[in-house]
Structure 1
């Protein structure tokens, strides 16, 4: 894939934003985009020694990487994050809305602050990041938005009412926004992972190993590279918009 565009005598390097890019699926997306020649900005909420080491190592090979601390549950952090990226890169070719948190619990006993935290991180941040990025993509008349949803949008577990509602909202947002921005040559798609080996699923897998044998037709967990390959498929196929690509090993059929 060629991630350089010719403009007169100038070569334009494509730029991407990945929300929640410090670990798990987000980190894998960041690395895969860097490997494909993108300049990549990503945000993170917490500084850790592992993250500091990762950033230092990446900057040796990819000096254009732009890590920014931001809490995307807060609108002001979103605005500051996107503004800084635009100021640094000048253009945005790809937004991957990936940030997400879990707070499983029965709705009847869930506290309002936890409901708001789930909605703000898992849905509202996708809406606000997309809005801010479109302010650049629309004048460019080009760009892509890829949203990370979840199998929980259609096959939720007990205690996932709010999480599932947010993920279902992401898929509806994907379809509606695709209709809205298609005339501007902007595509919007989503990827809905099943059980993928990440830090977020370690606890689930350690306590519910039977899920793999009972619900996953392929009898194994997924790997992050199986998500990143789907993302690059969507990037490269310019005739796909408004779609949700499900990558779940057959859970949806079990």
Structure 2
């Protein structure tokens, strides 16, 4: 458990520094595909930076074994390698490790509950084929349209009123595999539940996704005013923020 916590701390520091750099340099740019790539690079560097640095050190070092970085907590050091001879562990450090593990478990359970609810809605709805994707129609008017994996879910009333416009938006999410971004961001958030940057990264992904989908709708010939009115009407409703792209735009002004 100490190894996992130590790795989580190192990766969270990298993620936070890179996220702040992204917000300062790139977040305001109107290059959404590049922004999405930048967010992916941040995730990869944060997750793989330490293992790759260890590998590079072990290859290039003259010493028989590379020395791993350690986080000092008072008189206690938590490294990325298990130390069977460490002996006594202070009570406060044990408490910290258990608090971290409890947060991981609770966040993972919450994610599974959201996924379970999402799947129940998909399973209970009426299926309409749209090429290689499936449209799921539900009688629950409180659910904002959303997409996940190969499914687009919306209420029957939305389908009858603005089906083609909503479908154009959501199919762009599916064609660009946006659900993979959210899945990776959610996994990072589970193991870095204490790190605000991890949650903010997930929201950055969703923002970029919405801009990419908006662009596809407008380029399809749908009048911008009609689309703006749709976004305003769908600014409320049940969502699945951790796993699915929902037509519930939080950046209406932009």
Fold-level similarity (TM above 0.5): no
- Structure with greater helix share of residues: 2
Query: Which protein has greater RCO, CA pairs closer than 8 Å, 6+ apart?
Result: 2
Q: Which has the larger radius of gyration?
A: 2
